[in-house]
């Protein structure tokens, strides 16, 4: 079974876009692929229920229909950092329960793509972060770097933090989210030389990106 944990160099750098693109790319090689959003915050109507935009996108890109308690164990109504949103509505975020949901989901799939909350140290509770969750799941990490001012420092710090947790940085994605960034190609080449992990995709700027069009150079072990 193939699994990866997708994190970002910062918040709002396109983690879910990359996750859905990865699901489409993996589906070309594997019959059963599914996305997981362990903790989602902020909801919209979804059928007769509620769901987050991220979860809806992941479900649309998955070929496995999973129970909500597996592909999105924690759904918080307000678009707030999880530790704040959970406290406001009296929800307890249990990392061990999330890990159990992942294991149950993995038993149903050939590949699972886990969409993190945002940055690697984004808080989930007062004591746990996305880094703790990634470590609990023991998954290789894919780093999404949103190309904008400050991204070089953020990307290098995140890669260092991933490895400090004993996790493998399986690859990274350059997401050109800022059309006004000067010298974007030079940013990519700098990170390509220093991150110590393969560049899996270079996503051009698009105001309305389509996940199916993303081109990935997947690791051979994922094929």
Q: Are 2 and 36 in contact (CB under 8 A)?
A: no
Sign of CA dihedral 37, 20, 8, 110: positive
- The answer for residues whose C-beta is within 8 angstroms of residue 110's C-beta and 6 or more apart is 1, 2, 26, 30, 31, 32, 33
CA–CA distances in Å: residue 125 to residues 24, 42, 92, 121: 31, 17, 8, 11
pLDDT the model gives residue 223: 83
Q: Which two tokens stand for residue 135?
A: 């470590």
Q: Is 0.85 surpassed by the pTM of this model?
A: yes
Residues of the chain with pLDDT under 50: none
**Would you list the domain boundaries of the chain?**
2-222
pLDDT the model gives residue 47: 86
Q: Which two tokens stand for residue 1?
A: 């079974």
Which positions are catalytic? 37
Neighbours of 148 (CB within 10 A): 20
| pLDDT digit string, tens, across residues 90-105 | 999 999 999 999 999 9
Q: Are 141 and 162 in contact (CB under 8 A)?
A: yes
Domain 2-222 has CATH 3.40.50.300: yes
pLDDT the model gives residue 160: 99
d(CA 219, CA 139): 15
């Amino acid at each position: 079974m193939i699994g990866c944990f997708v994190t970002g160099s910062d918040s709002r750098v396109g983690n879910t876009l990359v996750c859905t693109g990865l699901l489409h790319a993996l589906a070309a090689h594997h019959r059963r692929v599914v996305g997981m959003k362990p903790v989602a915050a902020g909801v919209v109507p979804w059928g007769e229920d509620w769901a987050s935009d991220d979860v809806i996108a992941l479900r649309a890109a998955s070929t496995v229909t999973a129970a909500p308690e597996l592909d999105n164990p924690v759904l918080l109504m307000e678009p707030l950092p999880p530790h704040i949103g959970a406290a406001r509505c009296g929800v307890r975020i249990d990392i061990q329960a999330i890990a159990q949901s992942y294991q149950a989901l993995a038993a149903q799939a050939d590949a699972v793509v886990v969409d993190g909350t945002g940055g690697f140290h984004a808080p989930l509770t007062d004591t746990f972060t996305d880094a703790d969750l990634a470590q609990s799941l023991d998954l290789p990490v894919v780093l999404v770097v949103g190309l904008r001012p400050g991204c070089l420092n953020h990307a290098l710090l995140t890669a260092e933090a991933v490895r400090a947790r004993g996790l493998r940085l399986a690859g990274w994605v350059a997401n050109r989210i800022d059309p006004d960034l000067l010298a974007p190609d030079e940013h990519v080449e700098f990170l390509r030389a220093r991150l110590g992990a393969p560049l899996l995709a270079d996503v051009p700027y698009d105001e309305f990106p389509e996940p199916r069009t993303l081109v990935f150079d997947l690791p051979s072990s994922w094929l």
